[in-house]
A and B are shown apart, each in its own frame.
Chain A
């Protein structure tokens, strides 16, 4: 399977087991990025992705905007240098939160549980 999903409380983590994400993947990719009730954080693991094209970046932009309307948030993490380059070049880094790793996401965005 190309994508894996894991839910930890309010966080949905989508893993992409592919080196390249492009136009052909767009539909499947977007389908993976739908949040269920109670989930407020969509975290996408890009650790294996070496190459990402403009259509997937467009998807991310779109998803991020839609999530913000329902008080949810999109975060990408574990980006490869080339992908970081594209995020900087297109300035997507100002609109989508980028984190280093999964641990950082869990400690920063996990909703406080019942005390």
Chain B
């Protein structure tokens, strides 16, 4: 009787474990399906890639994974460490001969010599963090004709991947490629062609998202509304060519001064909006003042005509109690900008 009971108990535990494993497997499949679900909120490429990496990490389990993203102008690398749940994103990958060879080929695969180069690049970024072991490269291709949009480099310590893990990875591979492709098109359609900054639509959508995120995570958020002083005079006196050149120069300077997580957009003729997540009053003051003084010192020239410009900046710090809608926040920044104009221009004014 006792024995029978014990064996039944063991059997129950065994069944329980099998059920547990099968549900775990279902959840992994579900997480892969979630990859292709369009994100409900507009988020930057970087953020959705980080999110994506976490999801892949969920789906694949304990191996180490490097995602190399082949951008239009620069290549970047995301390293995902399972244990720490930490994701490191590099700035642009340095232009080494290895990378040049990989870029030259539109697509590299298993029996290609440059695969070793790619693994070497990925290994270097493991920074002694178990970059040893077997490495496998998976190209991410949106459609058969296109160039690779990126690569997975997967490091597995001691054992080869099981066939189930390989299947999961293949599923991820397709989803990720598709996502990178869509993202690429999306970004292309949201860039202002004159200044290279984001369009008004994108910037506002991004601001809406950042406002929600800021409320949710209790993080600071600042916006800067920037307007070139007497821009109409430049157009009228020196012509539109120099006017365009001025806009381009301002765009380039703004792009060079903001961080990766910030969004700089051109939202009107000579009006720009900067969205600065995680930035409080002092930080916003610093950025705004830096922009103002750098632009003041800049000379823009066109066929003998050299001009100097100044900008007025209205700054506002997001307050979830006061700013229900994006319009509320922008309205406050706009009033501050008006204050800067009324007080003699070439200055930064903070919204009350």
Contacts and interface: CB of A to CB of B under 8 A. Distances in A.
A92 B23 contact: yes
Contacts of A57: 27, 30
A95 B26 contact: no
Contact of B20 (A53, A54, A61): A61
Given A23-B54, A54-B58, A58-B58, A94 B23 contact: yes
Interface residues of B, number: 17
Contacts of A91: 19, 22-23, 26
B341 to A, nearest CB: 40
Contacts of A103: none
A94 B24 CA distance: 12
B51 A95 contact: no
Nearest to B30: A54
B55 interface: yes
Interface residues of A, number: 16
Interface string B9-26: 000000000011011101
B23 A61 contact: yes
A53 B37 CA distance: 11
B31 A54 contact: yes
Nearest to A2: B216
Interface string A71-93: 00000000000000010011110
A61 B31 contact: no
Nearest to A57: B27
Contact of A94 (B19, B31, B51, B58): B19
Given A23-B54, A23-B55, A54 B34 contact: yes
B13 to A, nearest CB: 11
Interface string B44-68: 0000000100110010000000000
Contacts of A55: 31, 54-55, 58
A52 to B, nearest CB: 10
A95 B27 contact: no
Contact of A90 (B23, B34, B216): B23
Contacts of A92: 23, 26-27
A33 to B, nearest CB: 17
Contacts of A94: 19, 23
A90 B19 contact: no
A93 to B, nearest CB: 9
Contacts of A99: none
A58 B27 contact: yes
Contact of B26 (A24, A53, A65, A90): A90
Interface in A4-46: 23-24
Contacts of B58: 54-55, 58
List the 3 closest A-B pairs by CB distance, nearest first. A54-B31, A90-B26, A54-B30
21 contacts: A23-B54, A23-B55, A54-B27, A54-B28, A54-B30, A54-B34, A54-B55, A54-B58, A55-B54, A55-B58, A58-B27, A61-B24, A61-B27, A65-B20, A86-B30, A89-B30, A90-B23, A91-B26, A92-B27, A94-B19, A95-B20
Interface of A: 23-24, 53-55, 57-58, 61, 65, 86, 89-92, 94-95
